[in-house]
Amino acid sequence: MQGWQLCAGATLLMPSGNQGNHLHVALNDPCPFENYGSHASVILVNLSSIRDGLPYDTTCVLAAGAHPFIKRDSFVFYRNARIEQASHVVKLVERGVFSAHQPVSAEVLQVVKAGLYQSPFTKREFKQFRF
């Protein structure tokens, strides 16, 4: 996607094994994190569709249409939050391994970020970060 840049609210599609691509949201502008070296990094969380009969994290549910990629009600999978070096993510977008997508709205970004601290499934190390 022309004009895409990695910043808070940016989204990208990342391969997820045989399940196709999942939409990931960057929660912060690239910056170094204490204990993670001097490289600028981002926290990424992915969205997963809610499936009938399967348990899911109810902390942050986004309705179908909350983002152009979201066709079914989806939840933020905080258990899989990850820290990635910004340069690595950008390089994989440039190579076509990851696909850039439209950013989430400011409102959606705020709800997703707040959920990182509220979800009982977020790993403790992520709850220390403030952005």
The answer to whether 26 and 11 are in contact (CB under 8 A) is yes
**Which band of pLDDT confidence, cut at 50, 70 and 90, is reported for residue 130?**
confident
At 33-78, the pLDDT tens digits run 888 889 999 999 999 999 999 999 999 999 999 999 999 999 999 9
Strand partners, 61: 75
What DSSP state is assigned to residue 110?
Answer: H
At 62-121, the pLDDT tens digits run 999 999 999 999 999 999 999 999 999 999 999 999 999 999 999 999 999 999 999 999
